[in-house]
Amino acid sequence: MPDLDDRDALSTFRRDLATWFRQHRRDLSWRRVRDPYAILVSEILLQQTRVEQAQGYYARFMAAFPDLATLARASEEDVLKVWAGAGYYRRARNLHQLARAVAETGLPTTAAELEDLPGIGPYTAAAVASIAFGEPVAAVDGNVRRVLARLFAVEAPNARWLRETAERFLDRADPGAWNQAVMELGSLVCTPKNPTCAACPAARFCRGKGDPERYPVRRVRRQMVVSACALVLKGGGGYVLERRDGRALGGLWGFPLEEGPSALEVLLSRYRLASARPLGTVEHAFTHKKLTIEVYAASWPGPVDDPGSRPLSVLDRKILALASVSPVP
Ligand code: SF4
């Protein structure tokens, strides 16, 4: 097997992967443009959204905010409304702040400068700098981590090894295409489960192909299970909605909601209600916790909001859907 520590083997590997990428790359909207802002928006979306879903959100976002200046002028609520459904709303808030910070000057062109902006970590900075500006810097995401770990049969690659190996592999003649090629290989061929080694352009260099799923060892994520209650208070023309705080959903609006064993009592007391009628159960998973939400409903004589006019999270859309099919007293 050719050894990727050997210079000639590495050149052959680069050439093979570049050829494969030209033939197999997916035709994605953000790959058809050279606009750094559009590339940035796509990378922010792809941080936590799958490519297939990201395409729709990308189109909607770019239609509403086609450039940095338009995004900078928008209100946070309008930005969140357009982002609604994509989840991880901190990304949208950071992107909005970023636009306000650089609307006058334009995006910086190096990974080091990009990393100083809100919501931009080392991966996103390297991806944008290499794809939009051609800076020779390696982008290391989960796909790259998996591909490199398997190529060298490393069970627990540490950050330093990954960084050094990715930099050594980088094709400095076309760093943007190279970074995308390695990531595309991880997305389409060297997948977490059932990688298709038989169709892989890197197979003849790969030390891990005999037992690929052994590399890298998977991190086990524990997810807390939390019970909660939500209150659907219906009045003429809408529902009572509260503006949410916190990292996950801050800036969005939603139904009054509390976690914990006394959640219903807390909600009833907040709205000075004696009781509410059970409507059903909604489940929603965040990265770190899974919420099981008992939804209660009551009629409300006071002011209400039209949910169509507020940015709602997916969680609140689920509650709204339940309220829409169940008669609220
Ligand atoms: S040969 Fe298999 S394990 Fe190795 S890089 Fe290709 S798909 Fe991944």
Q: Rg of the chain's alpha carbons, rounded to an integer?
A: 24
Question: Is it the case that residue 60 has pLDDT exceeding 70?
Answer: yes
Amino acid at 58: Y
The CATH topology of domain 7-214 is Endonuclease III; domain 1 (1.10.340)
DSSP string, 128-155: HHHHHH--------HHHHHHHHHHTT-S
Q: What is the pLDDT of residues 203-254, one digit of tens each?
A: 999 999 999 999 999 877 788 999 999 999 999 989 999 999 887 788 899 9
CA 194–ligand 1 middle distance (angstroms): 10
277-292: average pLDDT: 92
Average pLDDT over the chain reads 95
- State yes or no: pLDDT of 329 exceeds 70: no
Question: Is the sign of the CA dihedral 33, 140, 168, 18 positive or negative?
Answer: negative
- The bridge status of strand 257-259 relative to strand 253-254 is unpaired
Using CA atoms, how far apart are residues 231 and 199, in angstroms rounded to an integer?
53
Tokens, residue 128: 């944008």
Our CA angle for 227, 229, 318, nearest 5°, is 95
Pocket residue to mutate for ligand 1, from 17, 151, 194, 196, most atoms within 8 A of Cβ: 151
pLDDT at 83: 95
Q: What is the pTM of this model?
A: 0.86
pLDDT in tens, 149-202: 999 999 999 999 999 999 999 999 999 999 999 999 999 999 999 999 999 999
pLDDT score of 168: 96
Query: Two tokens at 171?
Result: 């094709």
pLDDT range class, residue 328, cuts 50, 70, 90: low
Catalytic one among 43, 104, 115, 294? 43
d(CA 108, CA 125) in angstroms, rounded, equals: 10
Q: Are 311 and 81 in contact (CB under 8 A)?
A: yes
pLDDT digits (tens, 9 = 90+) for 89-118: 999 999 999 999 999 999 999 999 999 999
Residue 186 pLDDT: 97
**Domain edges within the chain:** 7-214, 224-325
Instruction: Provide the pLDDT for residue 222.
Output: 80
Task: Please give the pLDDT value at position 211.
Answer: 97
Above 90 in pLDDT, residue 319? yes
- The string of pLDDT tens digits covering residues 244-257 is 988 778 889 999 99
Where does 224-325 sit in CATH, by number? 3.90.79.10
Pocket (CB within 6 angstroms of ligand 1):
147, 150-151, 189-190, 195, 197, 200, 202-203, 206, 208-209, 212
Q: Sorting pLDDT into bands at 50, 70 and 90, what band is 5?
A: confident
Closest CA relative to residue 104, chosen from 72, 76, 75, 132: 72
User: Which of 189, 194, 214 for mutating ligand 1's site (highest number of atoms within 8 Å of CB)?
Assistant: 189
